[in-house]
Structure 1
Amino acid sequence: MKQEVNTVDSLFEFGVLQEIIPELPPFDLSHIRRMTNQVSIVQHATYSIPNYRHGYCLDDTARALLLTTLSTQAHPSCEFKDLAYTYLAYIHYMQRDCGRFRNLLSFDHQFLDEYGTEDSYGRTLWALGHFLRYTQDSELVFLAEEILHKALPHCVALKSVRAVSYTLLGLQHYHASNRSDDKILLYIKQLNYYLLDEYKGSHSPDWNWYEQILAYDNAVIPLAVLRSGILLKQESMITIGRQTAAFLEGLIFEKGYLSTIGNESWYVRGSKRSIFAQQPIEVPSTILMYKELFRLYGNSRYKQRMIQSLQWFFGKNELGIPLYDAVTKGCCDGLERFGLNLNQGAESSISFWQAYLYVCYNLED
């Protein structure tokens, strides 16, 4: 631990990170490419082999587009442009005339739902907003912006705090680009006030949170509130974001290493939190939350938490078992009571490489 504390200020020097995490691999999206065909990225895998029975989903395609954009930021070239074309094409195909999206498509190209989940909508707007802020591929901008604007009016009907948070992150990125207009800021204000209302109706001195349950991808909510507070210059929002982040930290780092809320039954207020069925999706948003806190307060403890979060993939976790597979370049689907879930699906592998890029390349997101 002494070495980690002493080197934390050099977090984004890759050589220093390799001293802290000797297993840290070079950047390699070969498993992501293996999971991707001409339609999109396949949802699930059996071990490291794409499982075509489950087809495709908008959630994973949006995650994959975001990862592709990050990858291009880290390695500026045309290397990932083909992936961006593929993922944007799927998103476009799944958008209905009203602007909302379907989510699921079978391997034989049959629609499996009429409308997708709120989360899939929010993740798509996050990916599109991020893409429009950072892409250098001007020929892809027109379609991405058209999809976003067509979908945008539906954001005010969202009820899920996570979907609202995902959408906020996308609109914050879009607002930071040179393409947005005044209505984007109005949407940001409206969505952020929704989160604050949920917080006011839920929190108490012993439960500093936005709902009566901590479920999945929890860190994304204080992250969205922190960024909104910075954008809107509202100190009260920043305070709520910081305090709820601290509440979450007290749970997921109570053992000194990252142990996320398990999805067996989550953590309902007044009950016992789930330990197992921990999933990689939790890690990149946790890293982003601490990165935002570090930017605000400059406390090196937040950098330390980022490193510890990345180490979760390499065995600093509840079971002491690494999830990253150095042979396939993929990531196992989770920590279960019986051990590892050895399947290396899209969500898990994307989450690993997102977390990797956030720490090793200090990318904006």
Structure 2
Amino acid sequence: MTATLGPPVIAPTFTHLARLSDDTGLFEHARHGVVRRGHGYCTDDVARGLVVTAREPEPSVTVAGLTERYLGFLTHAQGADGAFHNRLGYDRRWRDEPGLGDWWGRALWGLGTAAARSAAPWIREEAMIAFRQGASLRSPAPRAMAFAGLGAAEVLRGDPGDPAAGGLLADAARAVLGASTTYPLMDLDWFWPEDRLTYANAALAEVVIAAGRHGGDPELLTVGLRMLGWLREIQTREGRLSVVPAQGWRRHGPRPGHDQQPIEVAALADACVAAADATGDPGWEAEIRRCVDWFLGDNDAGVPMWDPGTGGGYDGLTPDGPNLNQGAESTLAFVATLQHARRWS
């Protein structure tokens, strides 16, 4: 399948990701391209880092080294019961207790991806041990469950009968949609299970798509695809991608255009890959290309959302153009989205 041509696609670059990393993990923040060590590390970003490095089919020595460090960080962050710390200071001291917030879900996403896709057998084995330990838990937060469910979906790619992953994925979809089978908030004007769009929204649709596909439930798959289609429609402005900003959009409320976050674009790209794989519909391939093009300059400001000099992704799209800081979340969003461009390269 092919997608509509846009700006020339570049290959994923791990230069800035390596700059943001040390022998412990991945620093969260940067001022422009310079690491801000005083802000320390967080499991959220290290887990995202493991997702993108483990996705590389033929990792360079640099990328393989990052995968090892990120896996080591996550196994160190995991408590005896399977929950995870989130924040580690530059002094290598944890600032919190293990918990089941978004970072737990993202840690399982990273571990599940490494267990399914890493080029190194020992990485796959170690990641699977940590994944199983965390997959026995459940979070009360729907987004944390969605991220964990995406890790479970990765495990099921390699082992469709894995009971721990299958149970977690099914529970994640239920957490997103709620107990009702009528989905009362999901009407033609607002086909979404929450009354507000916040962050990484497309991940919720993606986990429902994955649960429907892996669980052999065509109705659930249809619901997930409809959620994603609705999200695609409301994030389109004059034919280009214009994503939910940091302050979110509320049902029946105003829909501000800024500040748009790269994580929204990356989450949409990931979900559209899942939809394309589940349906074979070339329309989803075109949407992936729109996500790539957003970073390359086809956005509301008409400016690239990355720095060719550093390889870093800019932290947000403001009314005045890019926020030139290049932290871990935005750089990982840029790299993750470019990885999907291999589908038509």
**Residue in structure 1 matched with residue 133 of structure 2 by the alignment:** 150
Query: How far apart in 2 are the matches of 1:337 and 1:146?
Result: 45
Choose which of 15, 30, 34 in structure 2 pairs with 1:45: 30
Residue 7 of structure 2 aligns with an amino acid whose one-letter code is: I
Query: How far apart in 2 are the matches of 1:323 and 1:186?
Result: 38
Q: 1:27 aligned to 2:18? A: no
CA shift for structure 1 position 202: 2.9
CA shift for structure 1 position 113: 1.3
**Residue in structure 2 matched with residue 192 of structure 1 by the alignment:** 173
Q: 1:241 aligned to 2:233? A: no
CA shift for structure 1 position 304: 1.7
Change (3 A) 1:47 1:355: same
Contact 1:313 1:324 (C-alpha < 8 Å) held by counterparts = yes
Alignment deviations for residues 207-238 of structure 1 (CA, whole Å, 9 cap, x no partner): 21010101111111111111111111111101
**Residue in structure 1 matched with residue 144 of structure 2 by the alignment:** 163
**Residue in structure 2 matched with residue 216 of structure 1 by the alignment:** 199
**Residue in structure 1 matched with residue 77 of structure 2 by the alignment:** 94
Change (3 A) 1:307 1:141: closer
Which 5+ residue runs of structure 2 have no aligned equivalent?
A: none
Q: Using the TM superposition, name which of 77-86 and 317-326 deviates more.
A: 77-86
Query: How far apart in 2 are the matches of 1:181 and 1:309?
Result: 32
Alignment deviations for residues 3-30 of structure 1 (CA, whole Å, 9 cap, x no partner): xxxxxx434xxxxx9x7323x3343211
Q: 1:176 aligned to 2:157? A: yes
Q: What's the TM-score, normalizing by structure 2?
A: 0.93
Counterpart mapping for 1:280-319 below 5 A? 280-319=262-301
User: Which aligned segments of 4 or more residues in structure 1 are displaced greater than 6 angstroms?
Assistant: none
Which 5+ residue runs of structure 1 have no aligned equivalent?
A: 1-8, 12-16
Alignment deviations for residues 101-131 of structure 1 (CA, whole Å, 9 cap, x no partner): 1100111112111135621111111111111
Choose which of 237, 252, 255 in structure 2 pairs with 1:270: 252
Contact 2:143 2:176 (C-alpha < 8 Å) held by counterparts = no
Q: Using the TM superposition, name which of 90-99 and 108-117 deviates more.
A: 108-117
Query: How far apart in 2 are the matches of 1:32 and 1:76?
Result: 14
Change (3 A) 1:213 1:66: same
Query: How far apart in 2 are the matches of 1:179 and 1:301?
Result: 27
The percentage of counterpart residues that share the same residue type is: 26
**Residue in structure 1 matched with residue 313 of structure 2 by the alignment:** 331
Q: Using the TM superposition, name which of 133-142 and 175-184 deviates more.
A: 175-184
SS of the residue corresponding to residue 43 of structure 1 reads: coil
Question: RMSD across aligned C-alpha pairs, in angstroms?
Answer: 2.1
Q: What's the TM-score, normalizing by structure 1?
A: 0.88
Residue 20 of structure 1 aligns with an amino acid whose one-letter code is: G
Aligned length: 343
Contact 1:104 1:116 (C-alpha < 8 Å) held by counterparts = no
**Residue in structure 2 matched with residue 14 of structure 1 by the alignment:** none
Contact 2:53 2:59 (C-alpha < 8 Å) held by counterparts = no
CA shift for structure 1 position 160: 2.4
Q: 1:356 aligned to 2:341? A: no
Residue 146 of structure 1 aligns with an amino acid whose one-letter code is: I
Alignment deviations for residues 244-263 of structure 1 (CA, whole Å, 9 cap, x no partner): 11211121014310100011
CA shift for structure 1 position 185: 1.9
Query: How far apart in 1 are the matches of 2:162 and 2:217?
Result: 21
SS of the residue corresponding to residue 296 of structure 2 reads: coil
Contact 2:185 2:192 (C-alpha < 8 Å) held by counterparts = yes
**Residue in structure 2 matched with residue 129 of structure 1 by the alignment:** 112
